[in-house]
Amino acid sequence: MATLCLLLNNSSFAQSDSLRTFTLAEFLTIVKTYHPLAKQADIVTDKAKAELLIARGGFDPMLYSDYDRKVFYGNNYYSFFSSEIKIPGWYGIEVKAGYDYSYGSNINPSDFIPKTGLAYVGVSVPLLKGLFTDKKRADLQKAKLFVSASEQQRILMLNDLLLDAVKGYYEWTLAYRNKRIIEEALLLSQQRFAATTQATLLGDRAPIDSTEAMAQYQTRQYEFNQANLDFQKASFELSNFLWTQNEQPYLLPNGVVPEFNDAAVFAQSVKLKPLTELEQTIQTTHPNVLMYQLKVKQLEVERKLKIENLKPTLNASYNLLSKDVSTWSNPEWSMFKDYYKFGVKFSMPLTFAQGRGDVRIANLKIREAKYDLELKRNELNNKLRSYYTELVVLKDQVNLYKATVTNYEKLYTGEVMRFNAGESNVFLVNTRENKWLEAQQKLAEVQLKYFKAEAALKWVMMQLN
């Protein structure tokens, strides 16, 4: 990772005369670590965890306290003080404990309590609606599923970013390869122009050959300037993906070139497994599929809550009271039948129209989500087939055009030998060279298409890293 450190930390790197190789692995490491979109992907998960924390807050114990007093014409009508702690539990059970104290001259007899105050502990239990699930539990379950879904969304966002980054790197590589091809052709044309001019001066070549060589040399100069400009523009485009640790954009320095070696790069290419095996893999492990499955689970939690709401409300509560504070230090079984407060609440709508409508909508949403899941699976399969087929064809195309480049090089070499033997002219040599040059550039374009197709296949298989 020495190059990575130099790119980010060495300010004199741009002034270096030597070329530095910037590999794809190093480039992707920078993108995944420092790019703002990669950090935004992390924020998605952090927000989901915050939502989970909010949902868990529904089960936080609550402490209440209340003081109420009335004085009229100097007479204390009443003074009420109460404090209570409620502890929500699972299955809708709620445990509470509290202490009430009151005094005054006009206290309602029903509010009378001992002079030392009244302590109590109690429990409230839903017997019908809310026993198996309620809004708090449903929200908590959905929040947990949302955390899992957000992780899949984070992976998808990062995968999309890496696909754009990889394509940018390959465009940069193509621009550099074209520059190198033209640079070599420029050197050959310069040498030929110098040799032909010298031969013309000596009378061994016709002046038209010198003019032909000069025109080819000038053409190569123009092409090299354009190729150099294209490479600089590609470098600027690649810099869009480069950011420093301090969240500042980073401009790719001069002297930095991509890594490209046919044998090494193609050896790193994906090993194509049977298409059916790849299809089975994305059907079960692709984040998009998992996200839709999690969405269905969330909707099923919502449907369960809607079904629960169809039940009548029947809640029972029991509070154990103490006649004085000292009772708690020496409890007796008689307390449970002589000192308590018990209540039952019942309610239900007569038609459950709203509840039945809510359940129906919940069922339709689940059906809709399942259709979306199947559509997404089919879309992923078709993308996989398309990229897979393209990759297979392009791999053959690359091998075919490599042989074409070799043949054009042989024709060029043979024409140069004939030229040196006085059996050819500069025009024919230039023609052979142009064909060879075009073949090299075409090979570079086909290889670029191959690597882009490979990146797309890795993208759909979630293998960009």
Question: Rounded to two decimals, what is the model's pTM?
Answer: 0.83
- 326-341 pLDDT per residue, tens: 555 566 666 677 788 8
- Give the DSSP letter of residue 132: S
Q: Which whole number is the average pLDDT over 425-437? A: 90
Long-range contacts of 319-328 (CB under 8 A, 24+ apart): 319/96, 319/120, 319/121, 319/122, 320/120, 320/121, 320/122, 321/118, 321/119, 321/120, 322/118, 322/119, 322/120, 323/114, 324/114, 324/116, 325/116, 325/117, 325/119, 328/119
Tokens (6 digits) for 433: 């060279």
3-class secondary structure, 344 = strand
What pLDDT shows up at residue 3?
Answer: 45
Kindly state the tokens that stand for 262. 């046919």
Query: Does the pLDDT of residue 35 top 70, yes or no?
Result: yes
Domains of the chain by range and CATH? 2-34+137-299+364-460 (1.20.1600.10), 61-126+313-347 (no CATH)
Residue 81, number of CB atoms within 10 A of its CB: 15
Beta-carbon contacts of 270 under 8 Å, excluding residues fewer than 6 positions away, are: 391, 454, 457, 458, 463
The mean-pLDDT minimum among 10-19, 36-45, 226-235 falls in: 10-19
> Given a cut of 50, is residue 80 above it in pLDDT?
yes
Provide the pLDDT confidence category of residue 377 given band limits of 50, 70 and 90: very high
Mean predicted lDDT score pLDDT of the chain = 87
145 by Cβ neighbours in 10 Å (0-12 / 13-18 / 19+) ranks as buried
pLDDT band at 114 (very low <50, low <70, confident <90, very high): confident
Res 16 pLDDT > 60: no
Q: What local confidence, expressed as pLDDT, does residue 241 receive?
A: 94
For residue 402, with 0-12 CB atoms within 10 Å meaning exposed, 13-18 middle and 19 or more buried, which class applies?
middle
Using an 8 Å Cβ cutoff, are 440 and 181 in contact?
Answer: yes
Looking at the predicted structure, is the pLDDT value of residue 134 above 50? yes
**What is the tens place of the pLDDT at every residue in 277-286?**
888 889 889 9
Name the percent of the chain lying above pLDDT 70.
Answer: 91
For the four alpha carbons of 366, 369, 374 and 380, in that order, the dihedral sign comes to: negative
Bridge partners (DSSP) of residue 346 are 314
The DSSP result for 394-462, as a single string, is: HHHHHHHHHHHHHHHHHHHHHHHHHHHTTSS-HHHHHHHHHHHHHHHHHHHHHHHHHHHHHHHHHHHTT
User: Residues of the chain with pLDDT > 90: what percent?
Assistant: 54
Q: Is the Cα torsion angle 186, 263, 444, 160 positive or negative in sign? A: negative
The more confident residue out of 286 and 195 is: 286
Mean pLDDT of 170-191: 92
Q: List, in sequence order, every beta strand (DSSP E) within 248-304.
A: 256-258
Q: What's the pLDDT score for residue 186? A: 93
Report how far residue 398's alpha carbon sits from residue 224's, in angstroms, rounded to the nearest whole number.
25
For residue 12, pLDDT beyond 50 = no
- Residue with the bigger pLDDT between 319 and 327: it is 319
Q: What is the pLDDT of residues 237-270, one digit of tens each?
A: 999 999 988 889 999 988 899 987 655 455 445 6
Q: pLDDT at residue 222 above 80?
A: yes
Query: What single string gives the DSSP state of each residue in 348-407?
Result: --SS-HHHHHHHHHHHHHHHHHHHHHHHHHHHHHHHHHHHHHHHHHHHHHHHHHHHHHHH
Pairing of strands 20-22, 256-258: parallel
More confident residue, 174 or 12: 174
Q: Are 194 and 188 in contact (CB under 8 A)?
A: no
Q: What is the mean pLDDT of residues 380-409?
A: 91
Look at residue 11 and tell me whether its pLDDT is greater than 50. Answer: no
